[in-house]
Structure 1
């Protein structure tokens, strides 16, 4: 329920970006197209930084962020200047090996990638 309220707040901001397209499906956060959203254990919550760069970001694309978000969401600025959405201070990603909506191939990948549950 808290996630739905936060998502509603995002919609009210009038921002046009991926963040407003996030929703809960089967107990996990997904994009509007149903692609699973992940966090990375090496990211430090509320640090404003992502530990995923280079080959990592090619396999784990950052979820783009709008200009304005409401708690529990926040925005970090990546080293390349792009804006990435964070949930409870942790940057959000998708996984290139998730071929279709509902895939969760990245969950517990190398014990450091996890689906976002609320």
Structure 2
């Protein structure tokens, strides 16, 4: 596909970055420098967090917790790769985990680079690679 067609397709919303990206073997998140050092961030650049009350491979953040700490969701076609695994949530949804720790964003982070969720209730921490 030519560069012009790619730009036009992206502008029209024809290209999707979700499951198609995962099908090509790309990781669901990346590393960025934040005020807390190297941190995992989602594809929008928002900081990812881990929850001390989660068990390895199991999310314990549901209901109101998941409203405040939206899970980094995986699609049905996504596949685990390397340190990236997928856990099944209580509602049946699929969530990405890094080294078996489910990943979340924080509703009070308003812009790329925010790390305001680190240390909340002494159980939330930035996810580090």
Instruction: Give the TM-score range, shorter chain.
Output: 0.7 to 0.9
1:70, 1:21 → 2: CA distance? 10
1:51 and 2:45 matched? no
Taking structure 1 as the reference length, what is the TM-score of the superposition? 0.80
Superposition deviation, residue 34 in structure 1: 1.0
* Structure 2 residue runs without a partner (length 5+): 1-20
Question: Paired residue for 2:99?
Answer: 88
Question: Paired residue for 2:118?
Answer: 107
Question: Paired residue for 1:35?
Answer: 46
Larger Rg: 2
Q: How many residues align?
A: 103
Which runs of structure 1 show a deviation greater than 3 angstroms over 4 or more consecutive aligned residues?
Answer: none
Taking structure 2 as the reference length, what is the TM-score of the superposition? 0.73
2:59, 2:22 → 1: CA distance? 27
Question: Paired residue for 2:27?
Answer: 20
User: Contact 2:27–2:84 at 8 Å: present in 1 too?
Assistant: no
